[in-house]
Structure 1
Amino acid sequence: MKVSWNELPRKAWVEFHAQHGGSMQQSWAYGAAMQAMGVTVHRAAVRDGSKLVALAQFVCRRLALYIGLASCSRGPVWHPSLEGPVRAQLQRQFKQDIPTRWWRATLLTPAVAMQDLLPGEMQGLQRVMTGYSTVMLDLRQNMADLRLALDGKWRNRLVKSESGVMQVRVDADRQLCRQLLERERWQRADRNFYGLPTAFVDAYLDAHEPAAQGYLVASASAPASETPMASMLFLRHGRTASYYIGWADEEGRKSNAHNRLLWEALSTMKQSGITDLDLGGINTHDLPGISRFKLGTGGRVLTLAGTYF
């Protein structure tokens, strides 16, 4: 098998990534967005003869003057035919051959749970960090089954929001997206929390052709009003979407607008061919309200295998 670096065309990367359910962090658009913000990205492609069998995208940062960090988050993306020992050998080769300075730490975080790793897949690598947990929703189910799976309290809030007067839009509206990003900046300043710069979203969308293929915004407002009371942003990558940010004012919270928005977004995603929704990390200790909201959807809790050096 041959590993090449930074040579695979965008089209081939996007097609393989979508076919094999790659994460947002392994999508071409994610790497392009990071590059647009001045971050170094290296992309490895593996071929068995002429057949593409694996992708691995590494985001690189400098920890100190002479030490760098290269991280393959929720990757690599494997063809299912590759057995565990082959994957382990390729991962060790990625660590050895990545075109960065020798003084580096190279980390890999598989996109699956510990019990789903293949025998021998992480052989020769040391686990240095436990995995984080997220909630995954299978959108191949019909809407009736998805509704039945909702926690009772979550469903009651949805029914309440459906019986109220609220205008809901779910589409790829760049203006609504920018309004939400502005409110996200307010939220971060008010609550003193951090994340990727909001400029990442614009760069991520610009990396799609067209940009509308990269996202959905769900927005709720009062009748005859153009001012949202709540909004949610979902980023698309292949057949999967990831919940990215949300916001609600006092009226939106009282109206359970996020329950309605997420429910309407699920329907729109299904119609557009999305098969899985990643609702993002859960932390019942530090973020109990958000975590309960995500868990209340009835989705599957996925705890990743962890980070390996």
Structure 2
Amino acid sequence: MNTTWDHLPRSQWEQLHAAQQGALQQSWAYGDALIALGVGVRRAMVWQDGKLLAVAQFMCRRIAGYLSLASCTRGPVWQPDVLPEQRAEVYRLLRRDMPLPRLKVVLFSPDRTADQVSAAETRGMSRVMTGYATVLLDLTLPLEALKAQMDGKWRNRLGKALSNEKIRWHVQPSLKRCEWLLGKELDQREAKKFHGLPTAFVRAYVDAHTEPQQAFVVAYAELGKNTIGAMLFLIHGRVASYHMGWTDDEGRQLNTHNALLWKAMAYLKVAGIEVLDLGGVNTHDLPGISRFKLGAGGHAVSLAGTYF
């Protein structure tokens, strides 16, 4: 078993990432976007007898000027037939061969639930953080099945929004609309005092693709001359991830986001996207947003956590 670092074939990485429905944080374009923003990124491919076993992307930073921290978020991305004992050896190799100064901490946050991560895989490692929770929508299902699995109240709000003939619905990879929504995101971050990935990340993520339509899509609603709500989704392989959304008071009263998510689901399904990741769920700190995501149906997932 051997590891190659950094100067890697993008096409081979993306082929495995797409086939295994890899998370946004393990996509090649995500890494390129972070590099464009000045973030340290290390990429690894692990091989055995000429066969690619896994790819792993790490976000790296220095702590206190002397400690190097490398975090593999929702990764590595594995070939499906890699055994738990082989995974344990891959973790060991990646920790040992990480091209960072000697005082280093290497963290792994598998993109699987605790039930899917066996003791043999994590032998010799300790869990140091609880897992990330999200909701995954299976877009390979018929639209009728997707609607049927929604919470009843959620589905009723969707019906009311769609029945409003005055609202115009759009879903498209519009750079102009994307820039407009990023401006709205900055405004609401300032007003509500919360933080997230820099909005410049989205521009860098789009620039990391040859064709912009391969990177994102914006769903937005218009009433008269006003835009009353919008959502941004980032595309990575066969998966799309909800990234941000905005609505004004009128859009909120008209349940705009219910219809925008539904319209985006239909668009992404036709585009060949198999999974829609609705992003973090935290019922304690963000109860309203979490109820919205859970009400949309799909499968609530709590990942195994972070291991050292």
Question: What is the alpha-carbon distance in structure 2 between the residues aligned to residue 122 and residue 233 of structure 1?
Answer: 36
Q: CA deviation at 1:43?
A: 0.4
Corresponding residue of 1:209: 210
On the 8 A contact 1:83/1:118 being kept in 2, the answer is no
Corresponding residue of 2:235: 236
What letter matches 1:194 in structure 2?
Answer: H
Q: Secondary structure at the residue paired with 2:80?
A: coil
The structure 1 segments of at least 4 consecutive aligned residues displaced by more than 4 Å after TM superposition are: none
The residue correspondences of 1:130-169 to structure 2 (distance < 5 A) are 130-164=130-164, 165-169=166-170
Question: What is the alpha-carbon distance in structure 1 between the residues aligned to residue 246 and residue 94 of structure 2?
Answer: 39
Corresponding residue of 1:248: 247
Question: What is the alpha-carbon distance in structure 2 between the residues aligned to residue 238 and residue 28 of structure 1?
Answer: 10
On the 8 A contact 1:282/1:294 being kept in 2, the answer is yes
Q: Secondary structure at the residue paired with 2:15?
A: helix
Question: What is the alpha-carbon distance in structure 1 between the residues aligned to residue 90 and residue 51 of structure 2?
Answer: 15
Corresponding residue of 2:62: 62
Q: CA deviation at 1:13?
A: 1.1
TM-score (norm 2): 0.98
Q: Secondary structure at the residue paired with 1:283?
A: coil
Corresponding residue of 2:197: 196
Corresponding residue of 1:179: 180
CA deviations over 1:132-155 (Å, ceiling 9, x no partner): 211111111100011111101101
What letter matches 1:297 in structure 2?
Answer: A
Question: What is the alpha-carbon distance in structure 2 between the residues aligned to residue 102 and residue 196 of structure 1?
Answer: 29
What letter matches 1:204 in structure 2?
Answer: Y
Q: CA deviation at 1:119?
A: 4.9
2:285 counterpart of 1:289: no
On the 8 A contact 1:21/1:240 being kept in 2, the answer is yes
TM-score (norm 1): 0.97
Q: Identity rate of aligned residues, in percent?
A: 50
CA RMSD of aligned residues (A): 0.9
Question: What is the alpha-carbon distance in structure 1 between the residues aligned to residue 101 and residue 193 of structure 2?
Answer: 35
Question: What is the alpha-carbon distance in structure 2 between the residues aligned to residue 9 and residue 307 of structure 1?
Answer: 28
What letter matches 1:230 in structure 2?
Answer: G
Q: CA deviation at 1:112?
A: 0.4
Question: What is the alpha-carbon distance in structure 1 between the residues aligned to residue 62 and residue 251 of structure 2?
Answer: 41
Corresponding residue of 1:100: 100
Corresponding residue of 1:299: 298
CA deviations over 1:237-296 (Å, ceiling 9, x no partner): 110010000000011101110000000000000000000011011111111110110000
Q: CA deviation at 1:228?
A: 1.5
Q: Secondary structure at the residue paired with 1:120?
A: coil
Q: CA deviation at 1:123?
A: 1.2
Q: How many residues align?
A: 307
Question: What is the alpha-carbon distance in structure 1 between the residues aligned to residue 284 and residue 130 of structure 2?
Answer: 16
Q: CA deviation at 1:193?
A: 0.3
Q: CA deviation at 1:102?
A: 1.2
* Structure 1 range deviating more: 117-126 or 50-59: 117-126
What letter matches 1:239 in structure 2?
Answer: R
Q: CA deviation at 1:50?
A: 2.7
Q: Unaligned stretches of 5+ in structure 2?
A: none
What letter matches 1:217 in structure 2?
Answer: V
Question: What is the alpha-carbon distance in structure 2 between the residues aligned to residue 166 and residue 121 of structure 1?
Answer: 51
Corresponding residue of 1:23: 23
On the 8 A contact 1:4/1:44 being kept in 2, the answer is yes
2:87 counterpart of 1:87: yes
Q: Secondary structure at the residue paired with 2:71?
A: strand
Corresponding residue of 1:260: 259
Question: What is the alpha-carbon distance in structure 2 between the residues aligned to residue 2 and residue 220 of structure 1?
Answer: 51
Q: CA deviation at 1:51?
A: 2.2
Q: Secondary structure at the residue paired with 1:108?
A: strand
Q: CA deviation at 1:14?
A: 1.1
What letter matches 2:201 in structure 1?
Answer: F
What letter matches 1:299 in structure 2?
Answer: G
On the 8 A contact 1:217/1:233 being kept in 2, the answer is yes
